[in-house]
Amino acid sequence: MKKSMFVVERSQANGDCVLFCAETASIIVLNSDAMQLLRSEEWDKLPMLEDMMRMKFIVDDDEDQVEIQRQIRNYVKEPREVKTLAFVIAPTLFCNARCAYCFEKGTKQCRMEPSTEAAMIDFIASTAKRFNAQKIAVTWFGGEPLLEQELIRRVSKALIGVVGKDNYNASIATNGSLIDDDVIGLFKVCNITSVQVTIDGTEENYNRIKNYVAPDRFNFQTVIRNIERCLENEILMTIRLNISAVNYNDVRVVLEQLAQRFGPYKKQMHIYAFPIMGDKDDESLYQSGSGSQELKEALDGITMRLFELGYKDSYKSLALKARPVHCAAFRYHSYSIDPNGDIFRCEHHLGHKDWAVGNVFEGIDEDSSKFRYWLEPEVPDKCNSCKILPMCQGGCVMEIGTNLDACSKQLLTLGTSLDLAYKLYERRVNS
């Protein structure tokens, strides 16, 4: 037997040690005596040995853990029948906001034509049939998808017709400025049960960054009111806080404002911070490479505050997960469709035709190098000795060459997350 290579240790002030196994995303606590036995490999004296083996903290001597991870990545990259097929659909690349950091900058703005819409519905229905999927999940994306409300209504109706209302679910990523009572009605008819909105700072900074086309109608106050409208209608809200080296303190303030305003709705809200991605040489952005200490402090600061405010109140809310591949784009079944009908593996490539792996008219060319590129199970060599390989699986393709082109941000914040896990444990034993 041996201790798993995927175990991260986090010592606590009282001598206890939190152990996290990235392979199973399990968390345990050992006191100092148990840690001593673990370090000296006195397996026969170690309590709960079977549990530790089941959770993969301890593995057989001959277990090739890196090879198992490679096989797992390969497994989900192969075609197979699935219960649910998920699609990202951008009905338009037009937007009423003009954020400086938008990854769709430079793409040709366009909206989906009726012929493309019809072909897309056929493509989704035939793909679901091909892989025997019982359920369809859609994420509405853009541009600003709520500029195309009638398309959303029509497509939702058609897809509900394919699998039935109980087997169809949707979410939407929107700037939130266009949500009114009619849109709430649209969400209900179209089974859109969760909404993601990005907040970049307090009112003045938010309005400056968003740079809406009609700032008297679309602005910070509009969006805050619309978030409330969603919460009042039992819609799950995800609030993304885009952070950079210049807006961090402002985002901390807006976090307090959100907590104060929406306190009663904590269970309906998921708030998280993510660094803005951009030019590697842009000093206004966080760098995840050698300068990552600043980014670590920023992410840790928001994570700690979310814990204190009650938004992280369970082990699962710490979002420590093992995953077979880095993100959905690496699964065989990954479909992001833009207004032209082009199909991409990653939604961040919408509108960038050179990344398309097919289109809704002709289908996907599964033999093309662009498609096969995503199915390559290898990861960079350095990842094969990383303790959190099962959580990260090699990282994000989009971040290559950007300010975030380094190790997973999960690695930066893992220590703080394990400290919070211990705090949750203390709450439990002291209650």
Partner 1 sequence: MNGANAVRVTGPLIAILFEGPAISKDFLSEEIRACACECACDGACYECNDCDDGPDCAC
Q: Segment 365-424, which members bind partner 1 (CB under 8 A)? A: 390, 396, 421-422, 424
Question: Toward partner 1, which CB reaches closer, 119 or 322?
Answer: 322
Please list the helix, strand and coil fractions of the chain in percent, rounded to the nearest 5, in that order: 45, 15, 40
Q: Closest distance between partner 1 and the C-beta of residue 86, in Å?
A: 5
Judged by CB under 8 A, the number of residues near partner 1 is 74
DSSP 63: -
Q: Is 27 in the site for partner 1 (CB under 8 A)?
A: yes
Q: Closest distance between partner 1 and the C-beta of residue 371, in Å?
A: 17
**Pairing state between β 84-89 and 192-199:** unpaired
Interface with partner 1 (CB under 8 A), residue from 159, 183, 325, 414? 325
Write out the H or E segment, with its range, that includes residue 230.
helix 220-232
Question: Toward partner 1, which CB reaches closer, 65 or 219?
Answer: 65
Q: Closest distance between partner 1 and the C-beta of residue 31, in Å?
A: 5
Q: Closest distance between partner 1 and the C-beta of residue 19, in Å?
A: 9
Stretch that binds partner 1, among 11-19, 148-156, 291-299, 360-368 (CB under 8 A): 11-19
Stretch that binds partner 1, among 108-116, 119-127, 267-275, 380-388 (CB under 8 A): 267-275
CB atoms within 10 A of CB 429: 7
Q: Closest distance between partner 1 and the C-beta of residue 115, in Å?
A: 28
Q: Closest distance between partner 1 and the C-beta of residue 195, in Å?
A: 12
Q: Is 313 in the site for partner 1 (CB under 8 A)?
A: no
Q: What does the alpha-carbon distance between residue 383 and residue 394 come to, in Å, rounded to a whole number?
A: 6
Interface with partner 1 (CB under 8 A), residue from 28, 95, 245, 255? 28
Instruction: Give yes or no for a contact between 112 and 60, defined as CB atoms under 8 angstroms apart.
Output: no
Question: Toward partner 1, which CB reaches closer, 180 or 300?
Answer: 300
Token duo for residue 304: 């700690």
**Apex CA 127: angle with CA 124 and CA 129, to 5°?**
110
Q: Closest distance between partner 1 and the C-beta of residue 37, in Å?
A: 5
Site for partner 1 in 221-250 (CB under 8 A): 238, 240
Interface with partner 1 (CB under 8 A), residue from 112, 192, 322, 406? 322
Mutual angle of helices 292-308 and 248-261, in 10-degree steps:
10
Neighbour-count burial of 246, counting CB atoms closer than 10 A to its CB (0-12 exposed, 13-18 middle, 19+ buried): middle
Distance of CA 30 to the CA centre of its chain: 31
Token duo for residue 235: 């819609």
Q: Closest distance between partner 1 and the C-beta of residue 167, in Å?
A: 10
Q: What does the alpha-carbon distance between residue 280 and residue 278 come to, in Å, rounded to a whole number?
A: 6
Site for partner 1 in 106-125 (CB under 8 A): none
Q: Closest distance between partner 1 and the C-beta of residue 213, in Å?
A: 27
Stretch that binds partner 1, among 79-87, 213-221, 256-264, 358-366 (CB under 8 A): 79-87
Alpha-helical regions (H) of 309-368: none
Distance in Å from the first CA to the final CA of the chain: 36
Question: Toward partner 1, which CB reaches closer, 304 or 327?
Answer: 327
Q: Closest distance between partner 1 and the C-beta of residue 55, in Å?
A: 6
Question: Pattern 343-362, binding to partner 1, x per CB under 8 A?
Answer: --------------------
Site for partner 1 in 130-169 (CB under 8 A): 135, 137, 139, 169
Q: Is 180 in the site for partner 1 (CB under 8 A)?
A: no
Maximum distance among all Cα pairs of the chain, rounded to whole angstroms:
71
Question: Pattern 56-75, binding to partner 1, x per CB under 8 A?
Answer: x------x----x--xx--x
Interface with partner 1 (CB under 8 A), residue from 260, 290, 385, 430? 430
Question: Toward partner 1, which CB reaches closer, 68 or 110?
Answer: 68
Of 164, 161, 419, the C-alpha closest to 300 is: 419
164-to-158, 187, 190 alpha-carbon distances in Å: 10, 16, 12
Neighbour-count burial of 159, counting CB atoms closer than 10 A to its CB (0-12 exposed, 13-18 middle, 19+ buried): buried
Burial string for 8-34 (b: 16+ CB within 10 Å, else e) reads bbbebeeebbbbbbbbbbbbbbbeeeb
Site for partner 1 in 182-221 (CB under 8 A): 196
